[in-house]
């Protein structure tokens, strides 16, 4: 019986080994800071290019002065929104991943044991074989006939 539970615990540990590392794997703070800086620099470059194109369109007469002012304000607003994104969103995601990992680490073994106790066969683990009562002769599933009656029918003996 103990061997069964040891095997169950081993299989649960294997399952958790596949589930938990991706949830707990955090990129280092230095890598996050570098990626944030790279992203912000790329956004700044894109918005500068957009402003230059808008200035060229104004110079070529494609857009009016009012349209230029409105579009440049929109580009500047989007630039401020993108570059001032706070780190609380990333921190919340990391905290949420950790919380999910802890919940799964507790829930998987509990659900597995409860499911086994409800659906499985706990007496079968004890090592003592479960026996059927054999008060009647061995019967086959064909209408309650015994093996002798089936054999007699096959050979034409009645």
Kindly report the pTM of this predicted structure. 0.37
Q: How far apart are CA 88 and CA 67, in angstroms?
A: 36
* Continuous H helices in the chain: 2-24, 29-60, 65-83, 88-119, 122-125, 147-154
54 token code pair: 């808008």
Q: Which conformational region is residue 150 in: left (phi greater than 0), alpha (psi within -120 to 50 degrees), or beta?
A: alpha
Average pLDDT score over residue span 141-145: 62
Mean per-residue pLDDT of the chain: 76
Q: How far apart are CA 80 and CA 77, in angstroms?
A: 5
pLDDT band, residue 16 (cuts 50/70/90):
confident
Checking if the pLDDT of 129 tops 80, the result is: no
Predicted pLDDT of residue 73: 92
Predicted pLDDT of residue 139: 47
φ, ψ (nearest 5 deg) of residue 139: -115, 145
Exposed/middle/buried for residue 123 (C-beta within 10 Å: 0-12, 13-18, 19+): exposed
Mean pLDDT comparison of 75-79, 119-123, 134-138, 139-143, highest-scoring range: 75-79
In the block, which residue shows the tokens 């894109």?
Answer: 46
Checking if the pLDDT of 101 tops 70, the result is: yes
Q: What pLDDT, in 10s, does the model give residues 30-40? A: 556 557 777 78
């Amino acid at each position: 019986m103990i061997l069964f539970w040891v095997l169950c615990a081993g299989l649960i540990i294997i399952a958790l080994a596949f589930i938990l590392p991706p949830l707990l794997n955090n990129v280092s703070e230095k890598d996050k800071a570098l990626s944030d800086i790279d992203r912000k620099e790329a956004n700044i470059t894109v918005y500068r290019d957009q402003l230059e194109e808008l200035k060229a369109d104004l110079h070529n007469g494609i857009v009016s002065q009012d349209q230029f002012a409105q579009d440049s304000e929109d580009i500047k607003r989007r630039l401020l929104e993108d570059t001032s994104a706070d780190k609380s969103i990333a921190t919340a995601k990391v905290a949420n991943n950790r919380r999910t990992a802890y919940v799964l680490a507790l829930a998987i073994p509990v659900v597995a044991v409860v499911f086994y106790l409800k659906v499985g066969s706990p007496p079968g683990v004890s090592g003592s074989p479960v026996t059927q009562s054999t008060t009647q002769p061995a019967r086959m599933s064909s209408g309650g006939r015994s093996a002798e009656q089936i054999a007699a029918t096959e050979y034409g003996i009645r």
